[in-house]
Structure 1
């Protein structure tokens, strides 16, 4: 059927259609309009199917007549692929430099074990000192409590 929107409440998403083929106005809800078009307004011509629900007429599968669909910019395949690859690269960099070092510190795979050492003079490397600080009790190797052990002997970043 064809008709025209005679009343429309955009805030509430419904209105009424008048058609020469039906006596009285027909209820129309926004959910019944074809997707991809602007919102309806008073005066728009429409095509619709008529439904009778609980004794009340309503419009179903409503299409605006003479209204062009809203153009949707579809990204090109190349730009989508580039974006996807950049996202993977960024994720890899974040994992390798921020997450993995915290999950798997370098000293974890060096075979260290707690052997009762408590002072920096007993350590042989910065990695061993970091292992002891993270895993062994009663160590006295981080005098300024900054999380960096043996700064004067082994873990001096200036060397």
Structure 2
């Protein structure tokens, strides 16, 4: 149905619609209007569906006719903040996820292949990982799962 707002109490969020298709005015609450538009005003044309509210006839859905949706209020400061947030998230992703995979911690600890081949000769899990990745003839990954010295140094 179509009608026109004939009374509107903005501070209480309700008003009445008059339509040639009904007898009497139809109650309408602000919550029944489609969101994203300005608040209704007296004289606005509306399209609505009739329902009931506490036994009385009321609009159950309403939309303002010929009124454009509100444009989002985006300030330049919020755009800058969004850009900085994205940059920070990108840096954090790089620093804490990507880079550690490219350069595992044991790479920068000064280890070198010195002929050690067994877990009992290693001093840390990081040393065992270095040996497994870089040194020949090591016998420190018995189950071949890529994790060296699991029972002595590198427990899961």
Q: Structure 1-normalised TM-score?
A: 0.49
Instruction: Return the offset for 1:75.
Output: 3.8
Instruction: Return the offset for 1:114.
Output: 0.5
Q: What corresponds to 2:105 in structure 1?
A: 106
Deviations 1:128-148 (A, max 9, x none): 001001111111211222221
Distance in structure 1 (CA, Å) of the matches to 2:105 and 2:94: 15
**In the alignment, does 2:78 pair up with 1:79?**
yes
Distance in structure 2 (CA, Å) of the matches to 1:125 and 1:78: 50
Gaps of 5+ in 1: 1-70
* Alpha-carbon RMSD: 2.0
Distance in structure 2 (CA, Å) of the matches to 1:86 and 1:147: 37
Q: What corresponds to 1:148 in structure 2?
A: 147
Q: Structure 2-normalised TM-score?
A: 0.50
Distance in structure 1 (CA, Å) of the matches to 2:127 and 2:89: 32
Instruction: Return the offset for 1:100.
Output: 1.3
Distance in structure 2 (CA, Å) of the matches to 1:147 and 1:126: 12
Deviations 1:11-55 (A, max 9, x none): xxxxxxxxxxxxxxxxxxxxxxxxxxxxxxxxxxxxxxxxxxxxx
Gaps of 5+ in 2: 1-69
Distance in structure 1 (CA, Å) of the matches to 2:71 and 2:136: 62
SS at match of 1:128: helix
Instruction: Return the offset for 1:119.
Output: 1.1
Q: What corresponds to 1:119 in structure 2?
A: 118
Instruction: Return the offset for 1:72.
Output: 8.0
Aligned positions of 1:4-153 closer than 5 A:
75-153=74-152
Deviations 1:48-91 (A, max 9, x none): xxxxxxxxxxxxxxxxxxxxxxx986842122112111111211
Distance in structure 2 (CA, Å) of the matches to 1:96 and 1:136: 27
